[in-house]
Amino acid sequence: MSGAVKKRRICVLGSRSVGKSALVVQYVEGHFIEPYFPTIESIVFKNVTWNGENYEFEIIDTAGQDEYSMLSSRHAIGIHGFILVYSVASRPSFDMIRAVHDKILNYHGVSQVPCVIVGQKSDLPEKKLAPRQVTPQEGQTLAKELHAAWIETSASSNINVSKVFDLLLQEVEQQYGAKPEKATAPENKCVVM
């Protein structure tokens, strides 16, 4: 194992109330937050060992987006990897994934960024608490099209939560490898919202 800690900055994006904060808190603190507090922005850190290397995640949990919200440069520039979250019980939140992904690509001026698409709240249809509005097949098809990884999770039942971050590291290391500074989009680039 090499001693150096590799820093990776991760941004979590998606519609309101899809469970972005719950996912991050379950991963970092190991518990589920039941009440809903809309996030403005929260940054948390976690150290992990992956493939024999030490990493420090800086995870930026953002306020929920809608089709009209602009992507802040803080949530695009210098970010190594993106977690795009929808709820499997919300079709509009799934439709938002493509819009957010397009905004990220516009910032970076590339055709691909390291990304994991997450279908959250998988417990809702399983426990018959809410009907499923997005099938796993639809999630996988979109991810294939956007060259992203895909997974379904439940923050409340702690299903697949840490796998999200393992998958993202895999995507980040595949794309940037030893050159993570390439995640920095040019500052003077014209940005199309």
Judged by the rule CB under 6 A, the positions of this chain that interact with ligand GTP are 16-22, 33-34, 36, 38-39, 63-64, 120-121, 123-124, 154-156
For the chain, the distance separating the N- and C-terminal CA atoms, rounded to the nearest angstrom, is 42
Pairing of the two strands 81-87 and 115-120: parallel
Give the Å distances, CA to CA, from 168 to 80, 108, 142, 145: 9, 18, 16, 17
Minimum gap (Å) between residue 68 Cβ and ligand GTP = 15
Residue (6 or 44) nearer to ligand GTP, CB = 44
Minimum gap (Å) between residue 175 Cβ and ligand GTP = 25
Pairing of the two strands 41-50 and 53-62: antiparallel
Residue (89 or 113) nearer to ligand GTP, CB = 89
Residue (12 or 168) nearer to ligand GTP, CB = 12
Give the Å distances, CA to CA, from 109 to 78, 136, 193: 13, 29, 12
Minimum gap (Å) between residue 161 Cβ and ligand GTP = 9
Minimum gap (Å) between residue 184 Cβ and ligand GTP = 26
Residue (13 or 185) nearer to ligand GTP, CB = 13
DSSP 154: B
Residue (22 or 134) nearer to ligand GTP, CB = 22
In Å, the largest CA–CA distance within the chain is 49
Please, is 176 exposed, middle or buried when counting C-beta atoms within 10 Å of its C-beta (0-12, 13-18, 19+)? middle
Minimum gap (Å) between residue 15 Cβ and ligand GTP = 7
Question: In the structure encoding, which two tokens stand for residue 158, read together?
Answer: 């702690």
